[in-house]
Structure 1
Amino acid sequence: MKDIFSLLKQGSKSSLIASIVNFIIAGLKGVAFLLTANVAMFAEMMHSIGDAINQLFVYIGSSLSKKAPTARFPFGFGRLVNLVCLFAIIVVAILSYETIREGIHHIVAPLPTETDTTMLLINIGVLAGAALLESFVLYKAGKEVLQQADQPYDGLKPLTKSFLCIKRAKPATKLVFMEDTVATAGALLAITAILIARFTGFGASEGIASVIIGLMMFYIVYKVFMENAAGVLGEHDPHMEARISQIVLRHAAIKDIKKLFVLKEGDSLHVEVVAEIDPDLTSRQVNDIRNEIEAVIMEQKHVTDVNMEFELDDGQRTWPETQKEMDER
């Protein structure tokens, strides 16, 4: 039991917070939907339920992925978070479909426009509160995105600059950030649809808002599925490969890089390097070089192991030249 709690402590905090917040929001939206029968509120409720379930699965998956390697699984459980995300996204896909289907139904046969001011205030109040809570979670997730991308995260940067760094975030953090972006936008869209229906009599606006929210959810399904499918298969990290190549080539004894790739295993990175060295070096010197370079690589974020091998310099350049060499040339 202690091992389980220890693993849960290592899970994605942003996923856990987002799940709790979205369950609370879904409950509020559900009550509002029962009181008002507002289709835009129904779509928002479904969206919040999907987000809450998804983020809970991601939290559990990100926790279990930290489990230490075993004899049966020597490379660890890093890809487990990708598998959990793929499973959870099926739930979101089903909810997305239901949201779009319900929206189309109310576009074809819109309900009478709500004229009761009390019901209007309930809908607007719940959605406004949801937007504030979702924006809070979005800010926290954006802050984690910038931290994981080694970027400053003060002020409003988590809500602005984080969109430019999303590709460098961990799978769990990326998912929370994307889902809460859609959730915040969806709440504001639902408020707009309700106001349009109330003051213009265009009842189909709520159905249109439901369809748009459902399509945004489907976009998340597509992005999450593609990225986590790649993670399950095993994909390389070009950004980290470029950084590690600079570390290796910076060492005076390294003549060239024959092969280098960084494999993602969930949040963990496995590094494989084959470098070329001078044939006159002794075995002790080669071992010292390996230890020095591996120590620096292991200091990089999320790198869990390094396998470095050497070949004799063949006099031909294999790895692309560095920026320094291009500037000198």
Structure 2
Amino acid sequence: MKDIFNLLKQGSKSSLIASIVNFIIAGLKGVAFIFTANVAMFAEMMHSLGDAINQLFVYIGSSLSKKAPTERFPFGFGRLVNLVCLFAIIVVAILSYETIREGIHHIVEPLPTETDTTMLLINIGVLAIAAILESFVLYKAGKEVLEQAGQPYGGLKPLTSSFVHLSRAKPATKLVFMEDTVATAGALLAIIAILIARFTGFAPSEGIASVIIGLMMFYIVYRVFMENAAGVLGEHDPHMEERISQIVLRHDAIEDIRKLFVLKEGDNLHVEVVAEIDPDLTSREVNDIRNEIEKIIMEQKHVTDVNMEFELNDGKRTWPETQNEMDQKPGQDA
């Protein structure tokens, strides 16, 4: 039991916070829907419930993925977070379908527009609270995105620059950020639909909002499925490969890189490098070079292991030069 609690402590905090917040929001929306029978509120309730379930699964998966390698699973459990996300997204897909179906039903057969001011205030109030809470989680997730991407995250940057660097975030953080972006937008859209129905008498507006919210949920389903399917299969990380190549080529003794591959497994990165060196180097010098470079690589975020091998320089350029060989290696003339 102690081991389980230790693993849970290492899980994605943003996923846990987002899950708790979304369960609370789903409850508020559910109560509002019971009192008002508002279809836009129903769509928002389903959306929040789907997000809460998904983010809870992600939190559990991200925790278990930190489990140390065993004899049976020597490469660890890094991809478990991707498997859990794939399972959780099925739930969200079902909720997305129900949201769209309910929306279409109310477009075809719209309910009479609610004229009771109290009911209107309940709907608007609950959705406004939801939008505020969702934006808080979105800001926190955006901050984590920028932190993981090595970017400044002060001021409003988590709500603006995060979209540019989203691809470099951890799977769990990326999921929370995408879901809460849609959740915040969905709450605002539902408010607009309710106001349109109330003051213009256009009752289908709520059904239209429900369909749009459901389609946004399906977009999240698509993105999460594609990214985590790639994670389960094992994909390379081009950004980190470029960074690792710069580290390797910066060393005086490295003539070229014959092979470099960075494999992503959940939050973990596994690095494989085959570099070319001068044939006159001694075994002791080669070991010192390996230790020095591997130490720097292991200091990079999310890198869990490095396998570095050497081949003799064949005189042919294999790896493309980057940034003028990092502004030229120390000791070289311009």
**Fold agreement, TM-score > 0.5:** yes
DSSP-derived class of the 2:220 partner:
helix
1:201 maps to 201
The answer to whether the aligner puts 1:26 opposite 2:26 as a matched pair is: yes
SS where residue 221 of structure 2 aligns?
helix
Amino acid in structure 2 at the alignment position of 1:276 = E
| Counterpart residue type for residue 51 of structure 1 | D
Alignment of 1:211-290 (within 5 A): 211-290=211-290
TM-score by length of 2: 0.97
Secondary structure of residue in 2 paired with 1:151: coil
| Letter paired with 2:315 | G
SS in 2 for 1:321: coil
- Give the 3-state SS of the residue equivalent to 1:136 in structure 2: helix
Q: 1:71 & 1:259 partners in 2: Cα distance?
A: 28
8 Å contact kept, 2:79–2:266: yes
1:256-294 deviation per Cα after TM superposition (whole angstroms, max 9, x unaligned): 000001000100000000000000111000000000000
Aligned to 1:102: 102
TM-score under structure 1 normalisation? 0.99
Tell me: CA distance 1:268–1:250, structure 2 relative to 1, closer, same or farther (3 Å). Answer: same
Percent of aligned positions that are identical: 90
Matches within 5 A, 1:1-329: 1-325=1-325
Deviation, 1:235, is 0.1
Task: Tell me the secondary structure at the aligned position of residue 236 of structure 2.
Answer: coil
3-state secondary structure, aligned to 2:274: strand
Report Cα offsets for 1:137-168 as digits up to 9, x if no partner. 00000000000000011111111111111000
| Structure 1: 4+ residue segments shifted above 3 A | 325-329
Unaligned runs of 5+ in 2: 329-333
- SS of equivalent to 1:316: coil
Q: CA RMSD in A?
A: 1.0
Q: Give the letter for the 2:182 counterpart.
A: V
- Post-superposition CA distance 1:2-35 (Å, at most 9, x none): 1000000000000000000000000000000000
**Aligned partners of 1:103 and 1:163: how far apart in 2?**
29
Q: What is the SS of the residue equivalent to 1:195?
A: helix
Give the whole-Å Cα distance in 2 for the aligned partners of 1:327 and 1:82: 38
2:148 and 2:321 map into 1 onto residues whose CA distance is 27
Structure 1: segments with no counterpart, 5+ residues: none
SS at match of 2:235: coil
Taking the aligned partners of 1:74 and 1:304, their CA distance within structure 2 comes to 13
SS of 1:72's equivalent in the other structure is coil
Number of matched pairs: 329
Kept in 1: contact 2:246–2:325 (CA 8 A): no
Question: What is the distance in 2 between the residues matched to 1:185 and 1:36?
Answer: 21
Report Cα offsets for 1:165-224 as digits up to 9, x if no partner: 100000000000000000000000000000000000000000000000000000000000
1:87-131: CA deviation from partner (whole Å, max 9, x where unpaired): 000000000000000000000010000000000000000000000
